[in-house]
């Protein structure tokens, strides 16, 4: 499968490429970046590692021509959030840049069934714009959404309970942003329901709050996230590439699950070769359902301001 990364010369795009190199599933990566030298440097650096990882082709350019023939386009390009800025405040600075990227993509020849995976922030809003752009069918447009938040939350819960991070199953759904919703009612720690721990909600509130602020904290400490974003992107792209239909909390245009429609946000979704196979209605309690509806409303309010 050929994957093009728009923004491949940047931190998130290059970390995604590096994660996909270790995954060894993707056959070819095209790194597009307005900074052509950065993209070329990343492509060369990645290719240098091929003999100890896997044999993949890397191309790079500041021109979208190398995107032709892609099976999946990952869009990571965008202006980074300032530490004190919410993702939604970033919207005005990123929407015009993103619409320019969509115009370029309308001019390339994607393979039949190609998918678009949006990472740039505010990811839910930009995912919706990409789905509305009719470059590929709506169901073939996904946003990284709360895959990253879920990844962070599981890792931080494991730290709190001193567990193997891969044994923690907990979902964050809704907006990849301030209104994200932790789904504690179905979370398990090594198979044990989190809800079986006395006073669990109070105990993990601090873990969730730190998760929610983790994006800003990483920006404050190192200028921007990349590593966990990269492995989260890898999880989505490989589920597409291998058609595994893994259930991931990707963002997509919702059509009524939990009573949520006409906005893109994260719900549990079977991800296959052509993107959204099925959105699965999660079992949520009243508070979680209310939180998800608040998330949808917050995103619709922003969308109304920009469209």
3-class SS string, 24-37: CCCCEEEEECCCHH
Nearer to ligand 2OP, 125 or 229 (CB): 229
- Give 215 or 272: the residue with its C-beta nearer to ligand 2OP: 215
Nearer to ligand 2OP among residue 225 and residue 303 (C-beta): 225
Q: Which two tokens stand for residue 167?
A: 């044994």
Omega into 122 within 30° of 0, i.e. cis? Answer: yes
Which of 59, 121, 140, 211 is close enough to bind ligand 2OP by CB under 6 A? 121
Question: Would you say 135 and 108 are in contact if contact means Cβ atoms under 8 Å apart?
Answer: no
Q: Which residue has the tokens 């405040």?
A: 89
Taking each helix axis as running N to C, give the angle between helix 123-132 and helix 91-106, from 0 to 180 degrees, rounded to the nearest 10. Answer: 30
E strands present in the chain: 2-6, 28-32, 57-61, 72-75, 115-118, 141-143, 168-173, 181-189, 192-193, 246-248, 251-255, 261-266, 269-272, 275-279
Residue 271 lies near ligand 2OP (rule: CB under 6 A): no
In the residue annotation, 160 being an active-site residue is answered as: no
Residue from 143, 182, 215, 291 in contact with ligand 2OP (CB under 6 A): 215
Closer to ligand 2OP by Cβ: residue 65 or 223: 223
Tell me: does residue 232 bind ligand 2OP (CB under 6 A): no
Q: Name the minimum Å distance from CB 121 to ligand 2OP.
A: 5
CB of 225 vs ligand 2OP, minimal distance in Å: 3
* Alpha-carbon torsion (45, 47, 51, 55), positive or negative: positive
- How far, in Å, CA of 81 to CA of 178, rounded? 13
Using CB under 6 A, which residues numbered 145 to 184 contact ligand 2OP? Answer: 148
Nearest distance, CB of residue 12 and ligand 2OP, angstroms = 6
Could you tell me the smallest distance in angstroms from the CB atom of residue 35 to ligand 2OP? 19
Work out whether 275 is an interface residue with ligand 2OP (CB under 6 A).
Answer: no
Q: Residue 124 has which token pair?
A: 């839910």
CB of 182 to ligand 2OP, least distance (A): 15
Which are the contacts of 101, defined by CB distance < 8 A and separation ≥ 6?
Answer: 6, 75, 77
Query: Which CB, 46 or 229, lies closer to ligand 2OP?
Result: 229
> What residue ranges bind ligand 2OP (CB under 6 A)?
121, 148, 215, 218, 225, 229
Q: Which residues are catalytic?
A: 176
């Amino acid at each position: 499968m050929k994957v093009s990364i728009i923004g491949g010369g940047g931190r998130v795009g290059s970390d995604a490429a590096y994660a996909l190199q270790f995954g060894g599933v993707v056959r070819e990566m095209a790194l597009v970046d307005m900074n052509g030298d950065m993209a070329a440097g990343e492509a060369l650096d990645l290719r240098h590692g091929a003999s100890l990882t896997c044999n993949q082709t890397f191309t790079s350019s500041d021109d979208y021509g190398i995107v032709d023939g892609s099976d999946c386009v990952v869009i990571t390009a965008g202006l980074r959030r300032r530490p004190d800025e919410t993702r939604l405040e970033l919207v005005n600075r990123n929407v015009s840049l993103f619409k320019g990227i969509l115009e370029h993509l309308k001019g390339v020849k994607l393979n039949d069934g190609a998918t678009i995976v949006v990472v740039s922030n505010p990811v839910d809003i930009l995912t919706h714009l990409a789905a509305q752009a009719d470059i590929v069918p709506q169901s073939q447009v996904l946003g990284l959404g709360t895959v990253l938040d879920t990844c962070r939350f599981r890792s931080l819960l494991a730290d709190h309970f001193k567990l193997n991070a891969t044994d923690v199953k907990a979902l964050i759904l809704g907006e990849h942003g301030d209104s994200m919703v932790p789904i504690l009612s179905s979370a398990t720690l090594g198979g044990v329901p989190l809800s079986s721990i006395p006073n669990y909600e109070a105990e993990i509130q601090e873990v969730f709050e730190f998760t929610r602020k983790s994006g800003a904290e990483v920006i404050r400490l190192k200028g921007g996230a990349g590593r966990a974003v990269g492995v989260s992107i890898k999880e989505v792209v490989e589920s597409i590439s291998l058609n595994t239909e893994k259930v991931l909390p990707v963002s997509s245009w919702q059509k009524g699950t939990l009573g949520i429609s006409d906005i893109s946000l994260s719900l549990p979704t079977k991800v296959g070769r052509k993107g959204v196979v099925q959105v699965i209605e999660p079992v949520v309690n009243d508070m979680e359902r209310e939180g998800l509806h608040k998330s949808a409303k917050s995103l619709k309010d922003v969308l109304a301001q920009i469209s």
